[in-house]
Amino acid sequence: MSASASSSTAGSDATVSGAKRGYFTAEDGSTYTVTFFLVASLFLLWGFCNGMIDTMDKHFQDQLNLTKAQSAWVQFAHYMGYSIMALPAGLLTRRMGYKWGIIFGLMLVAAGGFWFMPATAIAQFWAFLLGVCLIAMGLTVLETVANPYTTLLGPKEYGASRINLAQSFNGVGWIFGPIVGAAYFYSEGGVEVAHGQLYIPYVAVGVVVLIIATAFYFARVPDVKVQDEYHTDDADGAAPTVQKEKSRGAILAMMFLNVVVAGLSVYLVLHTILPFTGIDVAVVEKYMSWIIAALVLATLPKLLSAARTLTTQSIWAHPHFSGATLAQFVYVAAQAGIFSFFINTMTVDRKTGFSIVPPIPADWAASFSGWFVAGTDGVFHVSDAGAAKLSSVAFMCFLLGRMIGAGLLRKAPAHKVLGTFAALNVGVCALIIANLGWISVLSVFLSYFLMSIMFPTIFALGIFGLGAQSKKKASAFIVMSITGGALMPKLMGHLGDVYNMAAGFWMPLLCFVLIAMYGFSWSRLSQAESLTGLSTTKGH
């Protein structure tokens, strides 16, 4: 049977069987409800950890006199942890299975949390960055396992909806993370006091994580079998080669863009490490970019050859997957930039006096003690602590978007929802850049709402139709693309330093343009009508 025919039949059968089954019901009638919500607790965990990290930038700017771009090393350490651990996490998951992959990831998170005790005693920026990186490495394993796993715990036509529902727990964590971060990183005792108690919330995370790991040890976490729509798990090597010229062009373009992204990541890592070896930074900047560019271009002949000979067994033969890695790269870039500079966006720049927030009425300041502070001009503005609390309000918008999105994705094609939300966010970012007072302020919160469904939906679209083992492999590459969160916030911070934080939103605006393009072109890339109906009309 051809790939086209089998995919079409599978899609039709899945729709019928899914209609007869519940949201968390397996084909044999067993239920995954308990398993799903236990896995969903992992989403809450990494949302909480990420929420605390995003309140650290402004603290280190004040404590260590860093610029916005320099403080973005927090995000760099966090997302480089993802880049370092993503592929090993995929390998571990394929070897150990979902259950032991989760337990291993939790152990890494606990180790990172407990490291903050000696890091606080060392009191050096690098020590805190190491703790952030260790936690991120553990979260990488959890995300590599949990994201694809939630799509398998019930009828596959609801996969995008289930992963968005699970990511709603992530949104809850994002709400409480900044609240805890504000309490410890911006305490009333001042920056010095706050700096001495950074370890407290992270040690608490370590303790809670050990409890969760114990629960998973005794829980039922089966490795779920799935239908291999594109024959990516075929072991006999008999899968057909990609023959269509249109498919070859898309495959080549996606693979090359992924190589470009990898080159950017290598550039930033080397740019960070080499100066510490004693090599002159000017020499590094002069030659390294050209060397990396030459190496990237040198891959073109090999990529062209690969595009002609790839079989459907390779995940790279399916441009809807490789497109997802790129879309995830720019999405996390936009998310990390907006999240990490939220406090800077809401407060007054001490050097330039710029803020997108208009002057605060005195009666507001009296009603919300601690949220606002009087400037040297006597006008009230949002305080650092107040902005950290406001970030929780922003994450409530994020959570609301996830909850609404989970319901919307049960009825509407996932790729169209993604494209629409991304296109709307382009307009929202434009309103922020225009600096229109309260309209721009409200637009920041609306951007959180529109971002909410993007990460899980891109994930679900990227692993669509792949076999069980290929899903784990593809998941690792999509998680590794989170490196965008290490690279792009430094650009947004640079724009904020040179111009203002409103101008910094040019970076996420361009990212959302690319995400919209992926969403609206997904049907052509996957040659499937939609993720909700699973009516695959064409095969690779």
262-316: per-residue pLDDT in tens?
777 677 666 656 655 666 666 666 677 777 778 778 887 877 777 666 666 677 7
- The backbone torsions φ and ψ at residue 147, rounded to the nearest 5 degrees and listed phi first, read -60, -55
pLDDT tens-place string over residues 482-493: 777 767 777 888
Q: Taking residues 313-322, report their average pLDDT.
A: 79
CA dihedral of residues 487, 491, 494, 498 (deg, nearest 10)? 170
- Which of the four pLDDT bands, split at 50, 70 and 90, describes residue 95? confident
- Which of the four pLDDT bands, split at 50, 70 and 90, describes residue 514? very high
- The conformation of residue 31, written as its DSSP 8-state character, comes to B
Highest mean pLDDT among 174-178, 210-214, 294-298, 402-406: 210-214
* Cβ–Cβ < 8 Å for 417, 405: yes
Q: Taking residues 511-528, report their average pLDDT.
A: 90
Tokens representing 81 are 């942890």
* Cβ–Cβ < 8 Å for 372, 416: no
Q: Is the pTM of this model over 0.75?
A: no
Highest mean pLDDT among 75-84, 282-291, 458-467: 458-467
Q: Tokens 């208009």 appear where? A: 358
Q: How far apart are CA 475 and CA 106, in angstroms?
A: 18
374 beta partners: 380
Complete DSSP assignment for 198-210: THHHHHHHHHHHH
Specify the pLDDT at position 21: 59
Q: How far apart are CA 250 and CA 124, in angstroms?
A: 47
Q: How far apart are CA 309 and CA 242, in angstroms?
A: 7
15 vs 366, which has greater pLDDT? 366
Complete DSSP assignment for 215-267: HHHHS---------TT-TT-SSS-PPBP--HHHHHHHHHHHHHHHHHHHHHHH
Tokens representing 351 are 């050097």
Residue percentage of the chain with pLDDT more than 90: 16
Q: How far apart are CA 524 and CA 246, in angstroms?
A: 10
212 vs 47, which has greater pLDDT? 212
Q: Taking residues 419-443, report their average pLDDT.
A: 94
Q: How far apart are CA 480 and CA 76, in angstroms?
A: 13
Whether pLDDT at 186 is above 50: yes
- Which of the four pLDDT bands, split at 50, 70 and 90, describes residue 225? low
Three-state DSSP state, 123: coil
Range with lowest mean pLDDT among 316-325, 379-388, 439-448: 379-388
Q: How far apart are CA 249 and CA 525, in angstroms?
A: 11
Mind listing the domains of the chain with CATH numbers? 16-223+244-347+383-526 (1.20.1250.20)
